[in-house]
Structure 1
Amino acid sequence: MLSDCLLMITSFLARSMRRRSFFQLAGATAATSALVLTGCGKDDPTPPAGANPNVLTLPAGDVGLLNYAYLLEQLEAAFYQKVLDAKLTDLLPGELAALTDLRDHEVIHREFFKFALLDNAIPTLVFDFSSISFTSRLNVLTAAKKFEDLGVAAYNGVGKLVSSSAYLVLLAKIASVEARHAAFIRDALQPNSLATPDATIIATAGDSTGFNIALTPREVLAAAAPFLPFAVDASQLPTS
């Protein structure tokens, strides 16, 4: 059952999050696959994979919202893999290891949604990063800032739309990791910039910035559109 799979994967995710470096990318799919096969049984269907459709339709309800998060995690994992493949020579000491950790985190998130959704998952997607120059530390970190800030805003915006409290807890656990990513990238670009006004909103009149920005799925997908070589139909997703 899906609930049993979620419990198994959540346990794995919690154990993994206690380690700084989770596991090598080569082992990510195998490790998560073994977990799911153990908890869900051999008769569970395999998630679909293939070429990008002209239009990717996200289904209704919580399944649609989880697929929305899965799309974003696919995007981030693919981006960080491109970063590592670029083999940048101007990274500061420790940054390559940190970026590798970020890639591994996103792989865990991606595989979590893939196997939690099983036959309800959207396909494995290919993205268009041609607008990003993977030639320098500054270019890569600037792009990473956009992706991480967008991811945090997406999770902040989707929480109120989820009807299952169990799903909400899981999304919150991932959101907290994404927020740490965003803070790290911001500090790498500009020290002590983790809470600048472009990422936060005023709590009340006269207060300093205290809350992260929240965006709706439509706002997030519009911002991500330059990297999606296909249209996304989000009309069935909950709006309240």
Structure 2
Amino acid sequence: MAKNTNPQETADGLTKKVTSPIQRRSFLKYAGAGAALSTLFIMGCDNDDDMNNLPGDGVNLGSGDVGILNYAYALEQLEAAFYTQVVASTSFNTTFSNAMERMILTDIRDHEVAHREFFKAAITSAAPDDIIPGLTPDFSAVNFNDRNAVLATAKTFEDLGVAAYNGAGKLLTSATFLTLAGKIVSVEARHAAEIRDIISNGTFASGPEINNMGMDRALMPKDVLAAAQPFIKEKINFSNLPTT
């Protein structure tokens, strides 16, 4: 994967570049380390939530820290699938005629794929019987030939992702997992800011997602999944997730 050039800036000084894509070698080392850490914290847990994934029950995320990791994995699957389809669209070059915008969307795709694979490796290593399956995205309501439709959907996913991590942080019992979630949500927030700025220059930190204290909103899993469910064909069962 080619390295990015230095960030380009507009006259008002706003950077027009998301953080550099994760190099494959570095990512594999990162995922391996995450899987090892996950093993330390989860191997001793008694978790039989895989038994709950029965016909009609939907995809059960599970409980405890494993459930929260599956929750994050489900959201990263959705985001990775969306940006993969955006970039793979035959109209990508015409829908996004600006080369910088195409680079940004491609970089975001790479980040989301890396996040998805990180959670997959970590959960598979630590609790292979409890990892949720690959989900089937449903983007039938998105017109990938329409720049505004793509960006509006991207904004929805990024804002939702940031709120999801913020809300789920307090549900984790492992300080290690909380630190990892904090590192990922900071990247998701960069994505959200960049998408907003593409839509309308200078709006990277505006809107109802940021309160009058300058803080991003936090949403609980039930609210996040209610918004994400229309984009996922499988029913997501979050009934066993911690709530406090």
TM-score by length of 2: 0.76
Cα 1:212–1:194 shift into 2, 3 Å: same
**Residue matched to 1:12:** none
Does residue 67 (structure 1) correspond to residue 75 (structure 2)? The answer is no
Q: For residues 181-227 of structure 1, what are the alpha-carbon distances to aligned partners after superposition, in whole Å with 9 as ceiling and x for unaligned? A: 00000000011112223211222xxxxxx010110000000000110
Shift of 1:21: 2.5
Instruction: Identify the match of residue 150 of structure 1 among 146, 152, 160.
Output: 160
Q: Distance in 1 between matches of 2:86 and 2:29?
A: 25
Shift of 1:230: 1.7
Q: Distance in 2 between matches of 1:35 and 1:198?
A: 34
**Residue matched to 1:235:** 239
**Number of residue pairs aligned between Structure 1 and Structure 2:** 200
Shift of 1:85: 1.3
Structure 2 contact 31–118 (Cα < 8 Å) conserved: no
Cα 1:148–1:34 shift into 2, 3 Å: closer
Deviating 4+ runs (over 2 angstroms) = 31-37
Return the letter of the residue paired with 2:148: L
Does residue 97 (structure 1) correspond to residue 103 (structure 2)? The answer is yes
Q: Distance in 2 between matches of 1:34 and 1:190?
A: 34
**Residue matched to 1:45:** none
1:1-240 equivalences under 5 Å are 20-23=20-23, 32=28, 36=32, 55-86=58-89, 87-88=91-92, 89-91=94-96, 92-118=98-124, 119=128, 120-203=130-213, 210-240=214-244
Shift of 1:98: 1.0
Structure 1 contact 32–111 (Cα < 8 Å) conserved: no
Gaps spanning 5+ residues in structure 2: where? 1-17, 37-49
Return the letter of the residue paired with 2:242: P
Q: For residues 134-179 of structure 1, what are the alpha-carbon distances to aligned partners after superposition, in whole Å with 9 as ceiling and x for unaligned? A: 0122211111000000000000100111111110000000000000
User: What secondary structure sits across from 2:148 in the alignment?
Assistant: helix
TM-score by length of 1: 0.77
